[in-house]
Amino acid sequence: MTPTISRLALAALALSASILSAEPALAAVACGSGNFDAWLADFKTDAAAKGISQQAIAAGLAGVTLDQSVLNRDRSQKVFTQTFEEFSGRMVPPRMTRGSNMMKQYGSVLSRIEQTYGVPGEVLVAIWGLETDFGVNTGKFATIRSLATLAYDCRRAEQFRGELLDALRIVQRGDLAPADMKGAWAGELGQTQFMPSSWMKYAVDFDGNGKRDLLHNAPDVLASTANYLAGYGWQRGKDWQPGSPNFAVLQQWNKSEVYSKTVAYFATQLARAP
């Protein structure tokens, strides 16, 4: 959880009391202060202090403004209430044929990915289909603007401040240009919807073209998703049904049991498909 303002204030008081002879530090512009531009200027200074290049900061944050539509979506999220039968029945049948075709089209890539990370292609294709219809619907929100908006808002400020820093690191590393960084309203990017922190930790350049591209490059998308699951303890050659250790890994991908069960069900259907 993010620290409350009262905890931050107490920490500041304790620091000033213990170092009376020191010059007082300039206070950071608080989240939700009513001045987004001042907050953004302060964030740029902090990003530079954390080792992000001025070029990446300028490219990523030039002209960024608050997006009220993102705040509206964040504050109006509904509790997921569909049953497994309802959700899987709506999501899986329309995607079975395309999923089977993707298994064939990327068969050799999926085989190499399984050899490398231990995650079967059926699981990766199921996630791919459920997240973005196999890359068709990746989202149209400007990622950096969304993350800056959520970092400025006080509800989850520290979480999204970290994600915004990692989005700039993606730019600095050369994986994506800021203009290409479009995704879901809460900052998820790519064909399997990675947050920037997961991109930095798990994205791989599987086809060896020098970039980790989870927006346009299917081998990178699938291998990075496998690397994520492997990073959370996927057990090679083991089942993925509810109750198994690998199902617990799927719940690290999405903590909704209904969603995880739907991934497992879809993957099993793909494994049985001709």
What is the set of active-site residues? Answer: 131
Q: Contact 126/99 with Cβ under 8 angstroms?
A: yes
Cα–Cα dist 244/240, whole Å: 6
Spatial separation of the C-alpha atoms in residues 244 and 224, rounded to whole Å: 22
